[in-house]
Structure 1
Amino acid sequence: MPKDLEGEALTLQVRKIGNSVGVIFPKELLHRLRLKEGDTLHVVEQPDRNLKLTPYDPKHAKALEFARKAFQQYGDTFRELAK
């Protein structure tokens, strides 16, 4: 994100969209975040009713961290098995 926009507050309104409720992101924000229609965002609840929207699945990230540790610990074994 450009330095001049870091920490900038943006107000989005929850509104009715058809039979559902959603939030509409302005084009400029979508462009800055490199998001497009159909992308998946994960909502991570934070303390004090805060939300974190992220394109990264926290469960997937945790599984990758576990795999990285296993590869570090058993790297020689994995290399032998790959032969």
Structure 2
Amino acid sequence: MSALKLTQIGNSVGVILPKEILAKMNLEKGDTIYMTEAANGGFRLSPYDDEFERQMEAARRIMKKRRNVLRELAK
């Protein structure tokens, strides 16, 4: 576990992530991270948007099911 300190950034408050955490999460300056509420009442930070991933999985199922239609439309 890492303790992170809140710091004033302009009119907002932010968290500075150590280099080691950025490297493990494969993040760079300007990247977006997502915070989701965990079942235990805590929060989780992730470079992946869970909602977007669910939408993409639905799209993949549709594309697989309708592969022939999509192939015809691509002509």
Query: TM-score scaled by structure 1?
Result: 0.76
C-alpha distance after superposition, 1:2-47 (max 9, x if no partner) = xxxxxxx111122322321111111222123221111100111112
Identical amino acids, percent of aligned pairs: 40
RMSD over equivalenced CA pairs, Å? 1.5
Q: Which of 14, 20, 31 is 1:28 aligned to?
A: 20
Moved over 3 A (4+): none
Report the residue type matching 1:22 in the other structure: G
Distance (whole Å) between structure 1 residues aligned to residue 47 and residue 21 of structure 2: 14
Tell me, in whole angstroms, the C-alpha distance in 2 between the residues paired with 1:62 and 1:42. 14
2:8 is aligned to: 16
Residue matched to 1:52: 44
Q: Residue 39 of structure 1 aligns with which residue?
A: 31
Which residues of structure 2 form unaligned runs of 5+? none
Q: Is 65-74 or 13-22 further displaced after alignment?
A: 13-22
Q: TM-score, normalised by structure 2?
A: 0.82
